[in-house]
């Protein structure tokens, strides 16, 4: 197993080849003028900062709602990606409102085969998706927490990933994916205690 969970590839996994027609990204505000009014598009997402490692930062020539559906919808694009990654028995939960934080959430589950010198085993993965920001035609920010079961130390950490989708102008949207591992506190305390 790699240093990151098998879910890392899925969490950071909406690779550029899975999304059509990418362009160079840019970070500036663009206004699209029409005969009626001027539409101002956001220059970037509303995040104060991003996670430790950026995997994708690109611009695509379709709108942000299409980009969101390609990544998070239960559609042929997503299913083709899961098949390419050899994920098994995947399920997409329904988005439901968390009455505590007032954000929509869902769970995605799947299995994957792990092969190593110790043998072959099935790893069960569970991703919790949280819709942090949802402004159709403008900005979507989704956080995912990926947990794995079935390999050594899988219960000591999870992988946190953030997807920032922004409408750049009338025809283009941008995607930034960043991620970092999050270690369970009691495990860190145990390790530090043994280092003394």
Q: How far apart are CA 37 and CA 34, in angstroms?
A: 6
What digits encode the pLDDT tens for the residues 80-127?
A: 998 998 999 999 999 999 999 999 999 999 999 988 776 788 999 999
Q: Which residues contact 33 (CB under 8 A, 6 or more apart)?
A: none
Distance of CA 176 to the CA centre of its chain: 9
Class of domain 6-34+49-195: alpha beta
In the chain, where are the structural domains located? 6-34+49-195
Question: Quick one: pLDDT at residue 4?
Answer: 46
pLDDT band at 142 (very low <50, low <70, confident <90, very high): very high
SS3 state of residue 7: helix
Question: Quick one: pLDDT at residue 40?
Answer: 87
pLDDT, greater one: 4 or 37: 37
The pTM of this model reads 0.75
Question: Quick one: pLDDT at residue 66?
Answer: 96
pLDDT, greater one: 40 or 196: 40
Averaged pLDDT for residues 162-173: 96
What digits encode the pLDDT tens for the residues 19-73?
A: 554 444 444 444 444 444 678 888 889 999 999 999 999 999 999 999 999 999 9
Output DSSP code: residue 94: P
């Amino acid at each position: 197993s790699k240093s990151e969970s098998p879910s890392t590839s899925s969490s950071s996994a909406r690779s550029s080849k899975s999304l059509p027609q990418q362009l160079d990204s840019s970070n500036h505000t663009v206004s699209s003028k029409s005969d009626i009014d001027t539409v101002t598009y956001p220059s970037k997402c509303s995040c104060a900062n991003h996670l430790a490692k950026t995997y994708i930062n690109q611009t695509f020539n379709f709108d942000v709602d299409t980009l969101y559906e390609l990544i998070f919808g239960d559609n042929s694009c997503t299913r083709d990606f899961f098949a390419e990654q050899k994920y098994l028995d995947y399920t997409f939960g329904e988005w439901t409102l968390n009455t505590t934080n007032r954000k929509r959430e869902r769970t995605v589950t799947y299995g994957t085969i792990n092969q190593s010198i110790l043998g072959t085993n099935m790893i069960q993965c569970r991703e919790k998706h949280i819709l942090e920001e949802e402004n159709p035609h403008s900005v979507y920010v989704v956080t995912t927490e990926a947990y794995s079961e079935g390999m050594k130390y899988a219960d000591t950490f999870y992988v946190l990933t953030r997807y920032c989708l922004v409408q750049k102008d009338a025809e283009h949207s941008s995607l930034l994916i960043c991620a970092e591992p999050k270690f369970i506190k009691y495990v860190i305390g145990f390790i530090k205690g043994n280092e003394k």
